[in-house]
Amino acid sequence: MKKLDFPEHFDLEASACHLDEPCYRVKIGTGEDLSQLMPFLNAVADVIQYEPGEEPVMILKIGGCRVALRSHEIAVGPVKDRKEGEKALSEVLDYLNETWARSHEIRPNFKPKRRANAMEIYKLLPGTNCRECGESACLAFAVKLALGRQSPGACPALSGDSGTMEKVQRLIG
C-alpha cells in the first residue's frame, strides 16, 4: 500500500453522531485498498467494529475521533467545522501511514469484532433518566456507550452494580 496523502479537497457532511448538537464528519476516497491495513489496525488500534469480507468495514477510535474505514473510503468525525476536520483527518492519515510502515513488526489480527448494540446496552440500564451521567436520558447514554463516546462508570447506578457493569462492559468490548 502506498502512503496515504492528504487530499486537495475533502467532503464535510452532516452527521447524526450527536444527539444534542449538530456535528459533521470528513469523508475522502482513496486509491489505496485499505482492507490490507485493517488486520494490522485490528491488532494494535482501539477497534470498535471489524467486519472483514468482500466489503470490509472497520470502525475505530483515533485520537478523539471515530473513524470509519471501507476498502477505498475514510470517514472521520465528529468535527465542529472544516478547520477541525482538516486537523482530525491529518492525524488519522498519519496514524494509518505509521501503522502500515511498521506492519512488518505487527502480527495481523483477522478476527471480526462485533459492534455494541445500543438497545442491548439500554436494556441493562436503570431507565430512570436521572441525568447524573451528563446525558439527557438513559437511551442517549446507551447510544454514546455503543459509539465509544461515554464511559460506563459515568452512571452511578451502574457503578454500584458490578454484575450489570460486567455485562455492559462485555457488550462494549
What is the smallest separation between the CB atom of 61 and ligand SF4, expressed in angstroms?
21
The site string for ligand SF4 over 129-148 (x = CB under 6 A, - otherwise) reads xxxxx-x-xx--x-------
Which is nearer to ligand SF4, 43 or 157 (by Cβ)?
157
The site string for ligand SF4 over 146-165 (x = CB under 6 A, - otherwise) reads ---------x-x--------
With contacts defined by CB under 6 A, name the span among 25-33, 74-82, 121-129, 163-171 that binds ligand SF4.
121-129
* DSSP track, the chain: ----PPPS--EEEEE---SSS-EEEEEEE-SS-GGGTHHHHHHHSEEEEEE-SSS-EEEEEETTEEEEEETTEEEEEEESSHHHHHHHHHHHHHHHHHHHHTGGGS------BPPPPHHHHHTTS------TTSSSSHHHHHHHHHTT-S-GGGSHHHHT-HHHHHHHHHHH-
**Contact between 44 and ligand SF4 (CB under 6 A)?**
no
What is the smallest separation between the CB atom of 151 and ligand SF4, expressed in angstroms?
11
Footprint on this chain of ligand SF4 (rule: CB under 6 A): 125-126, 128-133, 135, 137-138, 141, 155, 157
